[in-house]
Amino acid sequence: RRDNKGKSRIGGGLWYGADHAGNTELRLPEGLPQSSRIAEFASALTGLQRAPRNQETHISTSRDLLRVTMQTHLQHMEDRGWIGVAEREPLQALATELKARTIPSLFKDPESERAPRNDRTTADGRAGATSLAVSGCQKLDPDGFHLEIDPVFIL
């Protein structure tokens, strides 16, 4: 979406369930690149930051990007000192939060779960998160994001 000045505005959504108090619409601040990738990272980071660090968390996304990046490429990005990694700040903040947790966080692909592909919960979750993201990009004021990055990641 674009605002009245032609600038891109991107939103994200956290969906926990129908009419759940934790459902959240997010608008990326202007200091972050306005992309759906960053919105996905920021949504996951916000959800993790809100959950107690000693609570198991499940991050469900229908896009492979976040899950594959954090499960497959994280070690390589860290080994290279994050050099050349696009969107490194949100990813570093997400890695910092994941490593600070005392219980594992699980990245789930709802499409590959054992539930049937027409499972109502999966469809509702996808639609709910999308609706929240659309509402988020329409918010007048952007949300602040706490991008705490472990000093080990800063070269």
pLDDT (mean) for 93-114:
81
Residues 125, 52: contact at Cβ < 8 Å? no
Residue 110: pLDDT over 80: no
Under 8 Å CB-to-CB from 70, ≥6 apart: which residues?
Answer: 94, 95, 98, 107
Residues 89, 41: contact at Cβ < 8 Å? no
Domain edges within the chain: 11-148
Distances 142 to 30, 71, 151 between C-alpha atoms, Å: 7, 29, 26
Query: In whole angstroms, what is the distance from residue 47 CA to residue 51 CA?
Result: 6
Query: In whole angstroms, what is the distance from residue 31 CA to residue 142 CA?
Result: 10
Residue of 6 and 106 predicted with greater confidence: 106
pLDDT at 8: 79
Instruction: Return the CATH fold of 11-148.
Output: Nucleotidyltransferase; domain 5 (3.30.420)
Query: In whole angstroms, what is the distance from residue 98 CA to residue 102 CA?
Result: 9
Q: Could you report the per-residue pLDDT of 51-76, keeping only the tens digit for each?
A: 999 999 988 887 788 888 988 999 99
